Structure 1
Amino acid sequence: MSEVFLKVTGIKKSFGGVKALKGVDLTIHKGEVLCMAGENGCGKSTLIKVISGAHNADEGDIYIDGKTFKSLTPMEAIRMGIQVIYQDFSVFPNITVAENIALNNELNSGRKIVNWKEVRTIAQKAMDKIGAKIPLDVLVERLSVANKQMVAICRALLNDAKLIIMDEPTTALTAKEVAKLFEIIRMLQSQGIAVLIVNHKLDEVYDIAQTLSILRNGENVAEGPIGEFDRARFVKAMTGRDIEDVFYRPQAKEKKILEVQNLERTGEFSDVSFTLCEGDVLGITGLLGSGRGEIGEALFGMAPPTGGKIILDGEEIKIKSVSDAMKHNIGYVPEDRLTEGLFLEIPIGTNTVAASIKSYLKGGRIDYKGMKESMWEWIKKLSIAAPSPEPPIKTLSGGNQQKVVLAKWLNTNPRILILNGPTVGVDIGSKSDIHKILHGLAEDGVGVIIISDDLPELIQNCNKIVIMRGGKLTASMDAEDLDETKLAALLSEQA
């Protein structure tokens, strides 16, 4: 094993009496790719902030490349070669690629006038180092998620990074983009740069990591070479319980709930037709830009269709707005729960009833007692890890936040529930819980539509899968006739 670059021992950190870290240890060697895994709320983010100087530990030691620290400032961490690339990449959308990569370097030079030719030269050299090919003068806001990530990596390398920490780096990437990112990580590794990846996608962890460190409830529960962890041990260590892959096959009834005929939205998709029966779990998939997400937005009235027919229970309906969709008992769980699905500053309980306030109006007054009972009912029914309905929703982990979004729509008694990326950024345990909730809905006769590029999720939970490409529905298959390899091949053929 190569020389140790980072070692933290006995790290403890509390927030207002809540113990986020309870004596955590972590060691990373030069040129090592280590995956840190754990369920949402286990302490991963807190540990990263301690390592990067954003938080001071209450107790413990930090050893970096021969020096020992009780605490760090962010600038000290950067000078020691530690760079963190968060999920939002912390890039500036309104300036160019070259400026995002090289301006810090210019600022640190102390010059009073920016040498723009030098900015471009520095940025190009950083991109050449990882084989990135992005126009230097394009505004970052116009880049794909993958290219924004490349910009963040280039900037990290300019700061003489010796350890790059990536927080959930593959959440919004396609399979091809993930493969490209992993090529770059291996290139960094060959240059002696250590990489710490926070990830809980098992197939990706096994593909890229040499070592694994698992946290649960703020404590180390398992660590070692990745080869020592089969799937069962990995999942058990993360969740504290045995979770098996369940291939759920919905038993759809003959009664049609929804018929979509030649649906279109100008410039986004056209000629899309499918049927949804009681108890169906229909998967809609496709590459980014295929139109898969736009179909969900059209059915929910967020971006109404410009043509075609929507037939609900045998009668044609018009959906021109979200309120139209809600009148017809259609619910929608968006992909971005933070900006589209939740009110982050208000209480958990209020979020659960936000879409159904009118149902609590009695004689012109709100039935607060009934509303409160509903809040508690959903917290218990969906096993939301919350002490009460009172804390702000932002205090919950990602998986629990997603359960609250589900509760919000389940409280409307939906006839149809559309879910766009229902488990994006959600840990294994919460993902299993959410899938069980969807199975229960199907068994109760609700029509469920899952829009996702998570192929195992589709294979394991749907009875029908349709594939989109370039705004067109190009294939419709029974899930029983597919496995992950076949579905991936179908998507590749569409590329």
Structure 2
Amino acid sequence: MDDNILSVNHIGKSFGGIKALDRVCLNVKKGEIHCLAGENGCGKSTLIKIVSGVYQADEGEIVIDGKCYEKIKPVEAIDAGIQVIYQDFALFPNLTVMENLALNSEIASKVRLLSYKKMKSTARQALEKINVEIDLKKKVGELPVADKQLVAIARALMSNAKLIIMDEPTSALTKKEVANLIQLIFKLKEQGISILFVSHKLDEVFEISDQITILRNGKNIISCAAKNLNKNQFSFYMTGREFKESTDSLSNADYSKKVMEVKGLSKTGNYENISFSLYKGEILGITGQLGCGRTELALTLFGLMEKTEGSIEIEGKETKIKNVRDAKREGIAYVPEDRLTEGLFLPKSIKLNSTVTRLKEISRWPGRIDYKKMDQETDLWIEKLSTAAGDKENPVSTLSGGNQQKIVLAKWLSRTPKILILNGPTFGVDIGAKYDIYQLLRQYAAEGMSIIVASDDLNEVTSLCNRILVMKGGQIKGMFQGEELREKNLQQEIM
């Protein structure tokens, strides 16, 4: 008897002559937690969409619980027990938790009139399956991300899921929420449900995975038991590159030259009485759980949020930063956490996005852009940041997450800022791009740029930063540097 719930055999898929998947194979056993990993653009999403029937493969076959499919439709995949939880969860934000959980079963039963009592009972039973309590009357759009994910998992189980595919399920969760999700995944495994876990976060992958399959450039690279891989091997198989940890920037901060001083900064309802200094060539980390106030603080320093009280000094002179124009004038740049909605003009070209902050400088006179200069500057930064951009006339939306983030960096680094503020600088980017961004930040710090990194990724801030401020409940609760810069110390302060 076949112990695989899913077998993907020699699947091929091309888009416009470009090979997205090249005879890819994948086997997921019943009751197994299997990690599917690879850099952005390696073919993970395409493979998931083929398994779930969204795309049709050009070649190969899919076997689900012993039944073979050359072509599979979404309804067939669901009937076979395949459920996919995408990053956007595919829920209806304007409907209640109860409606999101119970409407499908009500519609399937072809009733003429919906029964509120029956829908409530169905929804409650769905949540009881994963042992969580969520207000059934609350609209899904009002829920925190972690609760939306739980609703999506509960809905998947209502359809008698045998294999749940989770696409980057922890990308927007706090450390505590990640821990809770991992425990839930283990419970699903105990019930015999298989999990295909799509991720490139090393700690999570090795904590939960039984088996790991890695793709690169649309091809199988390796599939083996998680215990047979270490983190360095995992990174190498994903990228084809060997990474060496560097702490070069840690010795470059000049503590005799204060670039920024924040005194008693407060924003009612977000943070209060924040004071710290930033020095020339320093990388300063600000960390804490979601809602601690670090993002609002970063927005205030860049003029996107107005402070209630306190002061900001730049090189010893008190400065009024009421808007982005003021911040830019003082040599401050800001890279937002959500590059898609805040950092890029997605339909516009790579060229425009990489030069948009310098249109005045590359114009012959107001309203007349010097396109030759624009091309030269774009080429310069694409090369400088090792960006895999292809045709710079293409929309920036065509790039992978890591390369999009490099374009956001390029548009601000091109202004040679005195102070660079980054909010979650490697959020949603893969290992290779993350390494490149870290090296880039270390390089600019070594050249004298002062950098603030606001992030909840403790590995990120401990490996990058000279000093780290820990925020909790809108206040600074501790400062760590030197030998104190350890994840364990930060975790104790944050919790």
Q: Shift in Å at residue 361 of structure 1? A: 2.2
What is aligned with 1:446?
449
Give the corresponding residue for 1:359: 361
Cα drift, residue 407 of structure 1: 0.6
- Among candidates 423, 445, 449, match of residue 426 of structure 2: 423
Counterpart for residue 252 of structure 1: 253
In the other structure, the counterpart of 1:434 is 437
Letter in 1 for 2:392: P
Partner of 1:310: 312
- Distance in 1 (CA, whole Å) between partners of 2:182 and 2:482 is 30
- What amino acid is the match of 1:261? K
The alignment status of 1:76 with 2:82, answered yes or no, reads no
- Cα drift, residue 479 of structure 1: 4.5
Q: Distance in 2 between matches of 1:316 and 1:80?
A: 65
Q: Which runs of 4+ in 1 moved over 3 A?
A: none
Instruction: Tell me how far apart the structure 2 counterparts of residues 341 and 190 of structure 1 sit (CA, whole Å).
Output: 42
Aligned to 1:300: 302
Give the Cα separation in 2 of the matches to 1:304 and 1:367.
36
Deviation of the 1:480 alpha carbon: 3.5
Deviation at 1:482, TM superposition (A): 2.0
**Post-superposition offset of 1:362:** 2.6
3-state SS, counterpart of residue 351 of structure 2? helix
**Per-residue CA shift, 1:210-246, capped at 9, x if unaligned?**
0000000000001110011011211110010111333
Q: Does 1:491 align with 2:494?
A: yes
CA-to-aligned-CA distance 1:403-433 (integer Å, 9 cap, x gap): 1111111112111111000011111111000
Aligned to 1:388: 391
Whole-angstrom distance in 2 between the partners of 1:482 and 1:153: 37
Counterpart residue number, 2:407: 404
Contact 1:417 1:449 in 2 (8 A): yes
Q: Is the Cα contact below 8 Å between 1:463 and 1:480 reproduced in 2?
A: no
Residue identity opposite 1:325 in structure 2: A
- TM-score, normalised to structure 2's length? 0.97
Name 1:378's counterpart in structure 2.
381
Equivalent residue, structure 1, for 2:41: 41
> What CA deviation, in whole Å up to 9, does each residue of 1:299-335 have, x standing for no partner?
1111121211011122111111122212222111111
**Structure 1, residues 325-370: CA drift from partner, whole Å, max 9, x if none?**
1222211111111111111111111110112211112333322111
Instruction: Identify the residue that residue 126 of structure 2 maps to in structure 1.
Output: 126
Kindly, what percent of the aligned residue pairs are identical? Answer: 50
CA deviation map 1:149-207 (0-9, x unaligned): 00000011111111100000011111211111111111111111110000111111111
The structure-2 alpha-carbon separation of the partners of 1:442 and 1:53, relative to structure 1 and needing over 3 Å to count, comes to same
RMSD: 1.2
**Partner amino acid for 2:309?**
G
Superposed counterparts of 1:139-178, under 5 Å? 139-178=139-178
Contact 1:168 1:199 in 2 (8 A): yes
Indicate if the aligned counterparts of 1:2 and 1:30 stay in contact, CA closer than 8 A.
no
Shift of 1:148: 0.6
Partner of 1:277: 279
- Is 1:288 matched with 2:328? no
Give the residue type in structure 1 aligned to 2:114. V
Shift in Å, 1:247? 3.4
Q: Which one-letter code corresponds to 2:287 in the other structure?
A: T
TM-score, normalised to structure 1's length? 0.97
CA contact (8 A) 1:49 1:55 kept: yes
CA distance in 1, matches of 2:263, 2:402: 35
SS at match of 1:19: strand
In the TM superposition, residue 289 of structure 1 has moved relative to its aligned partner by 1.1
Q: Secondary structure at the match of 1:453?
A: coil
Q: Using the alignment, how far apart are the partners of 2:299 and 2:482 within structure 1? A: 24
Amino acid at match of 1:165: I
| DSSP 3-state at the match of 1:118 | helix
- The range that moved more, 161-170 or 246-255, is 246-255
Indicate the SS of the match to 1:255: strand
Give the whole-Å Cα distance in 1 for the aligned partners of 2:473 and 2:232: 39
SS at match of 2:169: coil
**Residue identity matched to 2:357:** A
Deviations 1:383-402 (A, max 9, x none): 11122211111111111111
Find the aligned partners of 1:189 and 1:208 in 2 and give their Cα distance.
10
The separation in 2 between residues aligned to 1:250 and 1:297, in whole angstroms, is 28
Output the CA distance in 2 between the equivalents of 1:250 and 1:211. Answer: 40
Distance 1:276 1:16 in 2: 50
Q: Is the 8 A contact 1:462 1:479 kept in 2?
A: no
Whether contact under 8 Å (2:40, 2:430) holds in the other structure is yes
- What is the alpha-carbon distance in structure 2 between the residues aligned to residue 439 and residue 41 of structure 1? 26
- Match of 2:125, SS? helix
Letter matched to residue 363 of structure 1: W
Judge which range, 316-325 or 29-38, deviates more: 316-325
CA–CA distance in structure 1, aligned partners of residues 138 and 238 of structure 2 = 41
User: Any idea what SS the aligned residue of 1:270 has?
Assistant: strand
3-state DSSP class of the match of 2:262?
A: strand
Task: Quickly say closer, same or farther: Cα 1:263–1:5, change in 2 above 3 A.
Answer: same
Pairwise CA distance, 1:250: 4.5
Q: Deviations over 1:41-81 (max 9, x none)?
A: 11101100000111111111111112111111111111111
Q: Is the 8 A contact 2:85 2:153 kept in 1?
A: yes
